[in-house]
Each structure stands twice: as C-alpha cells, then as structure tokens.
Amino acid sequence: MIPYGKQDIQKSDIDAVVEVLTSDFLTQGPKVPAFESAVTQKVGAKHALAVNSATSALHIACLALDLGEGDRLWTTPITFVASANCGLYCGAKVDFVDIDPKTYNICVNALRSKLEKAAKECTLPKVLVVVHLCGQPCDMQAIKSLADRHGVKVIEDASHAIGGKYQGEYIGNGRYSDVTVFSFHPVKIITTAEGGMALTNCDELADKMNLLRSHGITREPDLMTHEPDGPWYYQQVGLGFNYRMTELQAALGLSQLERLDKYVARRHEIAERYNESFEDLPIKAPWQHPDSYSALHLYVIRLNLTEIKSSHREVFESLRSLGIGVNLHYIPVHTQPYYRNMGFVPEDHPNAMAYYREAISLPIHPNLTNLEQQTVIEALKEAIFQ
Ligand SMILES: *Cc1c(COP(=O)(O)O)cnc(C)c1O
C-alpha cells in the first residue's frame, strides 16, 4: 500500500535520538528548550512550548485564554476532532462555521455573518480555532480583524502547516493570532513520533501554558506567593497536567527541523506533478492561494461526480484495492455521533457536506517516488473510468 503520508527518518535523526538515550536526561533536559528555540527562530515567534501532542497544545492554549464553562469556541467542521474537542475539555460550548467551497478553510463571509448575529444575541465565542487545512493558510488578516472587532481570541491550528507561509512569512509567527499550534505526529510535516507545540508572542500566555503543561508547578521565585523555603522548593500555583515532551522527541524534532524547507519543497514538486496530470480529468485539484505557500500536508482532490459513472465510495474503494492508501480528511466533525448528540445536524454546514461527498486525499510525502506517484495517477484514472 502506498500510504497517503509517512515520516522520513534518516541516520542523523537516529543518531540524535540515540545520543539522548545515553545522556543524563531523558526528559526535562536541554533538548526541549533547544527545540523550542529553534522553532521560534525558524518561524519568527517569541515563545514556543513543546508538549506531547497538538491536542495537548490546543487544550492548554484554550485554558490560557481563560476558556471555561459558559464560554463558546467556534471552529470549522472540516478538521480533525481535536480542534473542537479542546473547547469541550474546558467545559465550553462548541459551534462550527461552514467552510469556503474554494479553499476548504473556514469561510470568512460565513464567519462575519455568524459573528454579527452572535454579537446581537450576546452569544459571541471567546475563542475561534481556525485550521490551515492541508497546509494552506486561512485568510488570517481578515479573520483577525473580524475577531478583534468582536473581542474574540484566535488560535491557529497549524497542525498541517509548519513550513508554510502566509503573506511571505512563516506560519507560526503569530502576526494574526494569539496562539499557533503545530503537530509532530508522524504523518505531519516533521515528526517527534507524538508531539506538538504552542507558540505565542504574549509573555503572559506563554507563562500560563508553561505552568499548564507541567502540573501548574513552578520553580521560578518570581511566580511564587513567597520567597522559596530553600533550594528544594517549588510551588503548585495552578492546576496543570503532565503534557511534557521528552528529550528523545525534542532531539528528533530538532534533527527533522533542519529538513523542513526541503520537505515542503518536495511536497510542492509532487503537487505540481499531480496538478499537471489531472488537467483533463473530471476532478478538482486543490486551489492554491497566490499569496500563500502551502505546507501541502495533504493533497485533496474532489471528484466531479456528475461526469463520473462510479460513486465516490467506489472510486475510493477501487483505489484502495489497487494499493493506494487514499484517505478522507475529514469526516465533518459536527456529524460525529458525539456531536450529533449535542443537536448538530449534517445540513447545518452544506459546504462541508458537499466536500465530504467528493474529497479524496492522495498520497503525498517526501519519500513518495516518481514511480509510486505514477502508479497513483494511473490507478486514479482506472478508478474514475472503470
Ligand atoms: C493531527 C491534528 C491534530 C492533533 O494532533 P496530535 O499531535 O495528534 O494531537 C489537531 N488538529 C489537526 C487539524 C490535525 O491534523
């Protein structure tokens, strides 16, 4: 099976991890801060907090933004469930804004009208989680200006998007958001096995997230209620979690980060080749914003079903049977049973549903060979014209 995504592990990665294994620290050593500082320098953010997953990063970001009971979090229905679940972890209510039919990201017009309506009804969200789907950045400038007008905090779920650029600058610099979150799951752009990161330019948010990721415990005298009792002393000043990243993971991340630009460039080569091969097929290739540089975590096509005899499911099954590890990103979150039980109805978000009926993620990852890609292209043609 040719997988839709896969990590690239080289000898330098292995050496970096093995070196940590024989060092003094397996956790809470120098590699985590070194990884954090390398990422902040790469993307141009002030602070980075490495954690054990993007899910944890989303959770502590919401908590640091004071999201709690009685509050609301809005996000897009076309995302991984974690972008919405973080609101529920905090006891907040979750709601969705439909996607833009062209970019598949949150629709700015739908957001504007929903915010205006909510402002009148005093039901504005405290936090908006936008997702750079497939690595393509959302229209952050427009989103931030809407959010500011209504006093809404913005989290960028950039799980797909490290290495991508918006307005010529790396995603993660936080120019148009309060917190940005990266994921380092193996299918993502760079990996630490499991792992994630929360980035912010705000000192206060960074301090809060730093406490939240490690039990609410501090060893900083400045953050304590009184002078330390002695050199052993620490204080728990809030309620936190154990969301820490290990040294092994950070060493892997540091090593992978060196190849970030190469990875994204290779993804662009692959996408380019798909685009050219699909020009005459009854499918819609992903639209790319001219001002943006997508990290291209995913390459999603949409089937033009009126011109294809087979159904979406048949094309999908036929690709799988031909050894192509296609996938579907994502099942609209509001249609998941857990969310349906809260009263959401599929047709609340028609653009998301239309997308779900036609979308297929094709294999794209740095080690996909030209030969494998050709196999994917031929298999797709066969599946469509069978
Ligand atoms: C992968 C992913 C997550 C969760 O990442 P983990 O590191 O696995 O917790 C969250 N949001 C989106 C959009 C993702 O793709």
Are both 68 and 213 inside the same structural domain?
yes
pTM here is 0.98
Number of domains in the chain: 2
- Ligand 1 mean position, distance from CA 130 (Å): 13
Query: Cα of 111 to ligand 1 centre, how many Å?
Result: 22
Asked which of 257, 282, 308 is the last residue of a domain, the reply is: 257
Q: Which of 257, 288, 314 is the last residue of a domain?
A: 257
Same domain, 18 and 166: yes
Burial letters 262-287, b for 16+ CB under 10 A, else e:
ebbebbbebbebbeebbeebebbbbe
Supply φ then ψ for residue 56, to 5 degrees.
-65, -40
State the residue range of the domain holding 241.
Answer: 2-257
Same domain, 217 and 279: no
| Ligand 1 site-directed mutation target among 86, 99, 185, most atoms within 8 Å of CB | 185
Which atom of ligand 1 is the closest one to the Cα of 188?
Answer: 1
Give the integer Cα–Cα distance in Å for 244 and 338: 28
Q: Are residues 229 and 310 in the same domain?
A: no
Say which residue the tokens 């997702």 belong to. Answer: 131
Separation CA 220–CA 205 (nearest Å):
16
Give the pocket of ligand 1 (CB within 6 Å).
53-55, 79-80, 82-83, 131, 157, 159-160, 183, 185, 196
Closest C-alpha among 123, 115, 126, 125 to residue 64: 126
CATH number at residue 130: 3.40.640.10
Whose CA is closest to atom 6 on ligand 1? 54
Phi, psi of 368 (to 5 degrees): -65, 120
Residues 233 and 280 in one domain: no
Q: Tell me, yes or no, whether 70 and 112 share the same domain.
A: yes
Query: Residue 386: what pLDDT?
Result: 78
Beta-carbon neighbour count of residue 309 at 10 Å? 10
Say how many Å lie between the CA of residue 123 and the centre of ligand 1. Answer: 27
What number does the ligand 1 atom closest to the CA of 58 have? 10
Query: Would you state the pLDDT for residue 291?
Result: 84
pLDDT number for residue 296: 98
Q: How far is CA 288 from CA 96, 284, 364, 371, in A?
A: 24, 12, 16, 25
- Number of CB atoms found within 10 A of residue 336's CB: 17
Provide CB contacts within 8 A for 125, sequence distance 6+. 71, 72, 73, 74, 95, 118, 152
- Tell me which residue of 24, 40, 47 sits closest to 213, measured CA to CA: 47
292: part of which helix (H) or strand (E)? strand 292-293
Residues 213 and 275 in one domain: no
- 251 and 268 co-located in one domain: no
- Measured from the CA of 194, which atom of ligand 1 is nearest? 7
Mark whether 75 and 139 lie in a shared domain.
yes
- In 3D space, the residue among 369, 1, 373, 13 whose CA is nearest the CA of residue 184 turns out to be 13
- Ligand 1 pocket test: which of 96, 156, 157 has the largest number of ligand atoms within 8 Å of its C-beta? 157
pLDDT along the chain (386 residues), means of 10: 97 98 97 98 98 98 98 98 98 98 98 98 98 98 98 98 98 98 98 98 98 97 95 97 98 98 98 97 95 96 96 98 98 98 97 98 98 98 92
First to last CA, the chain: 20
Distance from residue 385's CA to the centre of ligand 1 (Å):
34
Domain at 288, CATH number: 3.90.1150.10
Q: Is the same domain home to 307 and 196?
A: no
Which residues are marked as active site? 188
Q: Say whether both 252 and 156 belong to one domain.
A: yes
Same domain, 218 and 322: no
Compute the distance from residue 82 Cα to the ligand 1 centre, in Å. 6
Among 257, 284, 312, the domain boundary falls at: 257
